[in-house]
C-alpha cells in the first residue's frame, strides 16, 4: 500500500503537489470548516487526512500544517508557519505563536487529571486546565512533553526528549527531565544588580528628557497639550502633562501655569461631569454614558489632586444615587464579554466616591457598603475576577476589566481582593496569550492590566517565581523602548506620546517593585497609578 508522502511530510505540499492533490486538500478543508463553524484556517494550510483533529475550537494560521498521526483536541490556536509534525499530540487549552516548529512524537498537554480524592479512581476525578502558551519562533524537538500551566517564551528551544514542567524564559535552551536551562539562544538576562544600575540610569534619562517630552506635545496654536505632535488637544493630555511634570519634575507643567483653574473650570456644575475639548480647545458636554465621561473622573480628579486642589462641584455619579440604584447600575454593566467596559465604569464609581468624601459632600447612606459588598459577593471564585470572557476571545476583557474595577475600588481604598490566588492564576494564564503579549504586539493598557493585579496580590506568595520571571521579561523589554526626547509609544510600534509615556513609566515602576528594585528609579507614581491606597475604606 502506497501512502501519499505529503501526509507525513507536508512542508512543501503547496509548492510540489499537483493540481489534483491541491484540489483534494482544499475540498477536505472546506468540509472540515463546514462541519466545525468555530474553526478558522489561514491561507496555504495543510491538514493531513491521517491526522485526528477533534478540537472544540481551532485556529490554524497561514502556511501551518498538521501532519499524519497528529492528535489535536480542546481549544487550540496556532499561528502562522507552525509545524505540527507526525504523531504530535496537542490537547486542551493551547496557544502557539508564529513560526514555531514542533518535532514528531511531542505531547503538548494543556490539561491535567486531579487526584485529590484518594478513594476515587483517577478516571472519575475532575480535570483541571491552566493552559499552555508557546511564543513565536520556538523550536520544539522530538519526543518533548510540555505539561499544563507552562509558558514557553519566544525564541526558546526545547531539546529533544525534554519534559517541561515550568515556564521557559524567552530565548532559553532547555533540556532534560525535568527540563532546565542549558544555555541561551539569545543573550542571557542581566543579574539583578545590573538591573538596578539599568533602572537608575533609565530614571536619570527620563528625568533629563522631561522638558523635551512635554514641549514636544505642546500645541502653541491652541495653547494646550496634545498627546503628540499633530494631534488635537484633549482633556486627558492636560492631565497626563500634569502627572508627568509631577512625576519627573516635582511640580506643575511650565506651559500650564494656571492648570488648576483651567481643569476646575471644565466641570459642569449641574452634572458634575467633565466634558471633552473641541479642536479650538473649548469644552463641550459629553453624554452621561460616554466612556470619556467616566475616565475624566479619574484623570481630572487626580490631576487636581496633584495640584493641591479638587473638583469644585459635587459628583452626581455618587451624590444623586441610592444603594438600590447602584446595584441596578452594576448589574446592568456588560460583565459577560465586555468586562473592560464594566470595569471602566466601576472604576469611575469608586473614584467618584473618593472625591465626594474629600469634598465633604454627603454620600447616600449605605452607598459605599453596597459598592464594596457587591464586588465582594460577585467575584468569581474560579478566576478571582468579575464577569466572564467571551468564548474564543481569550481573557483580555476579563483581566483588563479586573484591573479597572479593582484600581478604583479595592486598591484605591485598601480593601483585600476576594480571591487573590485565583487572580494570580488568571493573570499568568492570560499573559501567555501571544495575541497580546508577543514583543511586537504589546501596548501599555494590556501590560499595565497584568502588572498591577500581580503587584496587588504579591503578598500571597503564590507562584512568586513565575510572577518575577514575567515581570523581568516585561521590564527588560520596556526599558529599551524609550524614544530620546519623545517618551514612550502607547503601542510598541506606534508614535510616542504623553499617554504612552505616563502609562509605561507607571508600568516600569510596578514591574521593578515586583523585583524589589523600584527605589532605583528615583520616581514613584502619585496620581492615577499611585500604588498605595489613596483613601481609607471607612
Cis peptide, bond prior to residue 178, ω within 30 of zero: yes
Asked if 313 is an active-site residue, the reply is no
Q: Are strands 172-175 and 180-184 parallel, antiparallel or unpaired?
A: antiparallel
Rounded percentage of the chain residues whose pLDDT exceeds 90: 79
Q: What's the pLDDT score for residue 435? A: 86
Catalytic residue among 113, 313, 344, 529: 113
Average confidence (pLDDT) over 275-292: 92
Tell which residue, 123, 111, 118, has the closest CA to residue 148.
111
CA distance 195 to 520: 9
User: Given a cut of 50, is residue 1 above it in pLDDT?
Assistant: no
Task: Give the pLDDT confidence of 309-361 residue by residue, as tens digits.
Answer: 999 999 999 999 999 999 999 999 999 989 999 999 999 999 999 999 999 99
Q: What's the pLDDT score for residue 39? A: 93
Q: What's the pLDDT score for residue 413? A: 95
Task: Give the pLDDT confidence of 72-124 residue by residue, as tens digits.
Answer: 999 999 999 999 999 999 999 999 988 999 999 999 999 888 777 788 888 88
User: Given a cut of 70, is residue 190 above it in pLDDT?
Assistant: no
pTM (two decimals): 0.70
Q: CA-CA distances (angstroms) from residue 354 to 297, 412, 484, 529? A: 10, 8, 37, 15
Strands (E), 115-213: 127-128, 132-134, 139-140, 145-146, 151-152, 157-158, 163-164, 172-175, 180-184
Task: Give the pLDDT confidence of 445-458 residue by residue, as tens digits.
Answer: 999 999 999 999 99
Domain boundaries, the chain: 5-184
**What is the 8-class DSSP label of residue 47?**
E
Mean pLDDT score across all residues of the chain: 93
Q: What's the pLDDT score for residue 153? A: 86
Lowest-pLDDT choice from 387-396, 469-478, 523-532: 387-396
Q: Which residue has the higher pLDDT, 233 or 126?
A: 233
The three three-digit cell numbers of residue 89, written as one number: 499530540
Buried b (16+ CB within 10 A) or exposed e, 180-212: eeeebeeeebeeeeebbebbeebbeebbebbee
CA 465 to chain centre: 19
Say whether domain 5-184 belongs to CATH 1.10.10.10.
no
Local confidence band at 390 (pLDDT 50, 70, 90 cut-offs): confident
Quick check: 75 and 56 in contact, CB under 8 A? yes
For residue 233, list its beta bridge partners.
226
Tell which residue, 223, 233, 375, 242, has the closest CA to residue 301.
242
Task: Give the pLDDT confidence of 465-521 residue by residue, as tens digits.
Answer: 889 989 999 998 999 999 999 999 999 889 999 999 999 999 999 999 999 999 999
For residue 273, list its beta bridge partners.
none
Amino acid at each position: 500500500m502506497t501512502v501519499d508522502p505529503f501526509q507525513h511530510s507536508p512542508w512543501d505540499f503547496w509548492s510540489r503537489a499537483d493540481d489534483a492533490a491541491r484540489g483534494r486538500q482544499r475540498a477536505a478543508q472546506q468540509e472540515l470548516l463546514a462541519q466545525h463553524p468555530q474553526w478558522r484556517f489561514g491561507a496555504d494550510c495543510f491538514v493531513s487526512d491521517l491526522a485526528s483533529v477533534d478540537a472544540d475550537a481551532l485556529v490554524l494560521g497561514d502556511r501551518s500544517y498538521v501532519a499524519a498521526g497528529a492528535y489535536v483536541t480542546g481549544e487550540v490556536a496556532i499561528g502562522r508557519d507552525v509545524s505540527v509534525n507526525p504523531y504530535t499530540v496537542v490537547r486542551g487549552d493551547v496557544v502557539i505563536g508564529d513560526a514555531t516548529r514542533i518535532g514528531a512524537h511531542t505531547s503538548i498537554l494543556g490539561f491535567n487529571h486531579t487526584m485529590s480524592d484518594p478513594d476515587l479512581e483517577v478516571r472519575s476525578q475532575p480535570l483541571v486546565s491552566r493552559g499552555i502558551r508557546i511564543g513565536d519562533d520556538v523550536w520544539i524537538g522530538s519526543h518533548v512533553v510540555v505539561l499544563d500551566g507552562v509558558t514557553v517564551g519566544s525564541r526558546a528551544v526545547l531539546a529533544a526528549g525534554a519534559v517541561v514542567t515550568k515556564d521557559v524564559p524567552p530565548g532559553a535552551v532547555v533540556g532534560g527531565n525535568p527540563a532546565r536551562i542549558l544555555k541561551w539562544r539569545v543573550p542571557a538576562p542581566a543579574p539583578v544588580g545590573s538591573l538596578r544600575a539599568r533602572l537608575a540610569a533609565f530614571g536619570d534619562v527620563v528625568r533629563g528628557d522631561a522638558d523635551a517630552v512635554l514641549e514636544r506635545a505642546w500645541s502653541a496654536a491652541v495653547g494646550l497639550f496634545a498627546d503628540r505632535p499633530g494631534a488635537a488637544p484633549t482633556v486627558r493630555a492636560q492631565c497626563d502633562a500634569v502627572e508627568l511634570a509631577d512625576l519627573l519634575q516635582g511640580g506643575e507643567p511650565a506651559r500650564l501655569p494656571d492648570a488648576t483653574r483651567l481643569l476646575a473650570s471644565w466641570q459642569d456644575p449641574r452634572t458634575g461631569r467633565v466634558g471633552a475639548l473641541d479642536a479650538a480647545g473649548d469644552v463641550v458636554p459629553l453624554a452621561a454614558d460616554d466612556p470619556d465621561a467616566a475616565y475624566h473622573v479619574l484623570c481630572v480628579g487626580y490631576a487636581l489632586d496633584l495640584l493641591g486642589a479638587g473638583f469644585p462641584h459635587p459628583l452626581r455619579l455618587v451624590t444623586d444615587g441610592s444603594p438600590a440604584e447602584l446595584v441596578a447600575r452594576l448589574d446592568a454593566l456588560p460583565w459577560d464579554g465586555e468586562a473592560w467596559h464594566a470595569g471602566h465604569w466601576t472604576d469611575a464609581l469608586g473614584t467618584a466616591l473618593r472625591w465626594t468624601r474629600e469634598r465633604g459632600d454627603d454620600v447616600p447612606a449605605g452607598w459605599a457598603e453596597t459598592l464594596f459588598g457587591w464586588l465582594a459577593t460577585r467575584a468569581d471564585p474560579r478566576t478571582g475576577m468579575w464577569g466572564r470572557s467571551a468564548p474564543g476571545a481569550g481573557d483580555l476583557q476579563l483581566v483588563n476589566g479586573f484591573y479597572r474595577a479593582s484600581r478604583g475600588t479595592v486598591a484605591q481604598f485598601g480593601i483585600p481582593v476576594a480571591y487573590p490566588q485565583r487572580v494570580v492564576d488568571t493573570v499568568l494564564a492570560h499573559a501567555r496569550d501571544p495575541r497580546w503579549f508577543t514583543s511586537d504586539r504589546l501596548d501599555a493598557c494590556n501590560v499595565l492590566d497584568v502588572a498591577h493585579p500581580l503587584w496587588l496580590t504579591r503578598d500571597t506568595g503564590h507562584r512568586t517565581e513565575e510572577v518575577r520571571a514575567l515581570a523581568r521579561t516585561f521590564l527588560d523589554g520596556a526599558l529599551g523602548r524609550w524614544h530620546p526626547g519623545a517618551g514612550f509609544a502607547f503601542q510598541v510600534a506606534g508614535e510616542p506620546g504623553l499617554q504612552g509615556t505616563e502609562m509605561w513609566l507607571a508600568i516600569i515602576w510596578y514591574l521593578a517593585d515586583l523585583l524589589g528594585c523600584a527605589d532605583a528609579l528615583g520616581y514613584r507614581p502619585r496620581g492615577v497609578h499611585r500604588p498605595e491606597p489613596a483613601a481609607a475604606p471607612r
